[in-house]
Amino acid sequence: MIRQVFDEGRPLLGGLKHNHYSRRIKSHFQAYGAGYDFARFFEIADSDGGTAGMIVIFNASMIVSTMEGRTLGSGLLDELAQFILMNAPLVVELEVCFSDALMPLLAEEYTTDTRTQFEFSSRNALPLLDVNELPRLDDVFKVLASSFPSIAENYELWMTDTSHRVRRGLSQSFLLGDYTTATIQYIVDKVALIGHVATTPERRGEYHARKLLYWIGERLTLDGFTVRLFARPHRVSYYEEIGFKELETDIVFERKESDDE
C-alpha cells in the first residue's frame, strides 16, 4: 500500500537506508515539510503494515528509497509501477536493485538512462582560487541560464527554491569570476552533492569548471563533508583527473515525450 504522509512528527526519515535517494528525500522534507502540494511524501507499507520505503514527488520528479533491512517484493513493485504511471513524473530515481523489475512495467511510458556516482578523493591541497562562496544568486543564475535551458525558462521557480534551501543550510552556490558556477544540491548527513556546474560559452575550454570542482572538493572535505556528484559514464576519466573516484552506476527513468507535449 502506498499512502500519503501528512504527519510531520512520524519518525520515518531516520529509518531510511543511507544512500543518495534517502538524502534527496530528507533534503526535500527538511526544506518544505509535508504541507505543500509540490512536495508530497508517501509511505510504502507492506502487507504487515510496516514501512518498507518512502517516496517524494517534488515538482516533476519522483525519488524512492527503502528502509534499512527492508526490500520491495513483487507485489509492492507492481504497485509502485502503477503509482509512477498514475502520477507521471518526468524523472524517477530509485535504488538500482529495483530498476530491472520496473523496466518492463514502465517501458511504454519511460526510457532509461545510466549515470555514474563519483566521490571526491582529497589530496589535502586546497589551491589558491578566487571563489565567491556567498554569491548573489542572480549572478549564479546568469551563468546557469547559459547552459541549462530548463533553468533559464524558470527563473522564479529556481530562485525561490534555491534561496529557500540556502537559508536553511541545505544548499550552497559557488561562483568563480563571473563565468563558472557550481551548486551543492543538498547537504545532508555530512554528504554534499554537487550539481548544476556551468561555464558561460565564451569562457569554456579554459578549464574553469575543472578548477572550481577540485577547489570545492578540497574545501568541503576540509570542513568534514563527503563530496559527491553524478555524471554520465563516458565522463569517468574527466572526473578522475579532477580527483573524483567512481562509486557505482544507477538507472534513471525518464518519461517519453508525447505528441501532446
Helix (H, G, I), strand (E, B) or coil at 83: helix
Helices 155-167 and 20-32, axial angle in degrees (round to 10): 90
pLDDT band at 7; cut points 50, 70, 90: confident
Domain assignments of the chain as residue spans, ordered by start: 2-108, 118-252
118-252 is classed CATH 3.40.630.30: yes
Q: At what angle do helices 137-145 and 155-167 cross, to 10 degrees?
A: 140
Class of domain 2-108 as given by CATH = alpha beta
Confidence class of residue 179 from pLDDT cuts 50, 70 and 90? very high
pLDDT of residue 201: 96
User: Which comes out higher in pLDDT, residue 255 or 34?
Assistant: 255
State yes or no: pLDDT of 35 exceeds 80: yes
Residue 212: half-sphere exposure toward Cβ, Cα within 13 Å = 27
Cell of 131: 571563489
> Mean pLDDT in the chain?
93
Helix axes 74-87, 99-106, angle to 10 degrees: 50
> The C-alpha cell of 65 is what?
528509497
- The predicted model gives 162-167 an average pLDDT of 95
- pLDDT of 6 above 60: yes
The amino acid that residue 85 corresponds to is L
Beta strand spans in the chain (E): 2-4, 39-45, 51-58, 61-66, 91-93, 110-120, 131-132, 172-176, 180-188, 191-199, 226-231, 244-255
For residue 172, give the amino acid letter.
Answer: Q
Q: Is the pTM of this model over 0.95?
A: no
The yes-or-no verdict on residue 257 having pLDDT over 60 is yes
Residue 9 in this model has a pLDDT that exceeds 80: no
Residue 35 and residue 257: Cα distance in Å, rounded?
A: 30
Q: Name the pLDDT band for 10 (thresholds 50, 70, 90).
A: low
Cα separation of 221 and 213, whole Å?
12
16: three-class secondary structure by DSSP:
strand
Q: What is the pLDDT of residues 67-121, one digit of tens each?
A: 999 999 999 999 999 999 999 999 999 999 999 999 999 999 999 999 999 999 9
Name the DSSP class of 206.
Answer: S
How large is the average pLDDT for residues 143-171? 94
Q: Which residue has the higher pLDDT, 34 or 111?
A: 111
The two domains 2-108 and 118-252 share their CATH topology (first three levels equal): yes
What pLDDT is stored for residue 96 in this prediction?
93
Dist CA 239 CA 246 (whole Å): 8
End-to-end C-alpha distance for the chain, whole angstroms: 31
